[in-house]
Chain A
Amino acid sequence: MADATLQHDAVQHGLPGAFEAPLFGAYSKKVGMWLFLASDSLTFGALLFAFSYNRIYTAWPTPFHVQSIVNSTIMTACLLSSSLTMVMAVFAAQRGDRGWTRNWLLATMAFGTAFIVLHGMEWSKLIDEGLTLPMFPKPAHAAVGEMADISKNTPQFPATFFGLTAMHMLHVTIGVIYLGVVAFRKWFLPVLAVLWAAGYFLIPADNVFHYGIHALGLGLVVAAIILFLKPKDYDAQDVEVSGLYWHFVDLVWMFIFPLVYLLSTKIT
């Protein structure tokens, strides 16, 4: 059947063994990733529009102290640097240098993990201070102060802040898992399982990440299905496509950081 199709195509284009050049001059999985990213940008676009609408039409609090701004600036630097190491990984893959491809991917994952950890610490600090959502676990002692007042009087603030940053953090987490799968294939699955279990048992039950850590479990299941149903050795094209996703995650943060953090700085 396949041979018949190939012969038919060759006849159609007049050259034996020749196929029509792809419309975009790129291989199909790269075009597929670009189309996915275009649709995903609309998801973030809708969230950012919703945030901007609230920011303009609501008496918006400006609670972020220097500590939060310094923290988020370091997070931004981590993501920007991870994009550079990702570019290096693509170069190494195109050279056929498997060792350095893996090293650069590992460096990218390390920057991404640093971002997630810093962001998790930032979230935990804000929640401790009283910035919370009704769905979050209730703390043993109710917080009082500026953040608690904001949650009570301007619920749009925690809703848009946690909504936007959680969506982005989920994308970064998926990105780290994606790169881990490309770099280490099946060897990455036990690492992911250990991280998931350790996170679940070590993070206290009154911390929101006690539940958020299950994103790793979900990633583990999806990665295992992909790796066992279609085992393959990932090549330079796969590294480049995973890089497109990673750069997109960086790109989205370039909008979240100024809009969410810098427009809510507390000037003392």
Chain B
Amino acid sequence: MHDAATHDDSKGQYFWVWGALLVLTAIEVVLGYKQVFSPVRMLEILLVLSIIKSALIIGYFMHLKFEKALMRWLLVFSVVACFIIMYFFFFPDAGRVLPPPNGVGLG
């Protein structure tokens, strides 16, 4: 754990992160209404923006950026690995059982 002085010196960065998160949220809302992308592309863009926002929250607000490298990598690797496994369980099989009909879905 860092001492209080270190944190107090860099308190401003948390306001920047908060501002960045609000701006990213505003971009998401605007994209939701503009509909300049196809729905599947929208899903991808929104997911990428959400991952950026979550990285900011985990790195700064949850202080993972300041933890030991071993803890950082072990936590991130294990959770990401579990999600990748989950992805391979869900989607290929789901697509095989119920292929998306033309013109249906994401619209």
Please report A residues at the B interface, Cβ cutoff 8 Å: 23-27, 31, 34, 38, 41-42, 45-46, 49-50, 52-53, 55-60, 69, 73, 76-77, 80-81, 83-84, 86-87, 90-91, 94-96, 237, 240, 243-244, 247-248, 250-251, 254-255, 257-259, 261-263, 265, 267
Cβ-closest chain A residue relative to B67: A26
Q: CB < 8 Å: which of B53, B70, B74, B82 contacts A254? A: B53
Rounded to whole Å, the gap between the CB of B74 and the closest CB of chain A is 8
**Which chain B residues in 75-107 approach chain A with CB under 8 Å?**
75, 78-79, 82-83, 86-87, 90-91, 94-95, 98, 100, 104-107
Whether the pair B100, A56 counts as a contact (CB closer than 8 A) is: yes
Whether the pair B68, A258 counts as a contact (CB closer than 8 A) is: no
Contacts of A259 in B (CB 8 A): 43, 46-47, 50
Whether the pair A45, B86 counts as a contact (CB closer than 8 A) is: yes
Q: CB < 8 Å: which of B18, B35, B67, B98 contacts A84? A: B18
Whether the pair B75, A34 counts as a contact (CB closer than 8 A) is: yes
If the complex has contacts A83-B18, A87-B61, A91-B4, are A255 and B105 also in contact, measured as CB distance less than 8 A?
no
If the complex has contacts A56-B106, A255-B54, are A91 and B28 also in contact, measured as CB distance less than 8 A?
no
Q: How many A-B contacts if CB must be within 8 Å?
A: 146
Please report B residues at the A interface, Cβ cutoff 8 Å: 1, 3-4, 7-8, 11, 14-15, 18, 21-22, 25, 28-29, 31-33, 35, 39-40, 42-43, 46-47, 49-50, 53-54, 57-58, 61-63, 67-68, 70-71, 74-75, 78-79, 82-83, 86-87, 90-91, 94-95, 98, 100, 104-107
Contacts of B29 in A (CB 8 A): 69, 73, 262
Whether the pair B105, A58 counts as a contact (CB closer than 8 A) is: yes
Whether the pair A57, B100 counts as a contact (CB closer than 8 A) is: yes
Contacts of B95 in A (CB 8 A): 57
- Does more than half of chain A's interface fall in helix, strand or loop, or is it mixed? helix
Contacts of A87 in B (CB 8 A): 14, 61
Contacts of A25 in B (CB 8 A): 67-68, 70-71
Docked CA distance A262–B49 (Å): 13
- Shortest 3 CB-CB distances between A and B: which pairs? A262-B32, A24-B71, A25-B68
Whether the pair B94, A244 counts as a contact (CB closer than 8 A) is: no
Contacts of A38 in B (CB 8 A): 75, 78-79
Docked CA distance A52–B82 (Å): 17
Q: CB < 8 Å: which of B25, B78, B91 contacts A53? A: B91
Contacts of A258 in B (CB 8 A): 28, 32, 46-47, 49-50
Contacts of B39 in A (CB 8 A): 263
List 20 A-B residue pairs with CB atoms under 8 Å apart, sorted by A's residue number: A26-B1, A26-B71, A38-B78, A45-B83, A46-B86, A56-B40, A56-B105, A56-B106, A57-B94, A58-B105, A73-B29, A83-B61, A84-B61, A91-B4, A237-B1, A247-B58, A258-B49, A261-B32, A262-B28, A267-B35
Whether the pair B79, A41 counts as a contact (CB closer than 8 A) is: yes
Cβ-closest chain B residue relative to A95: B4
Whether the pair A49, B86 counts as a contact (CB closer than 8 A) is: yes
Whether the pair A80, B82 counts as a contact (CB closer than 8 A) is: no
Q: CB < 8 Å: which of A31, A52, A94, A261 contacts B7? A: A94
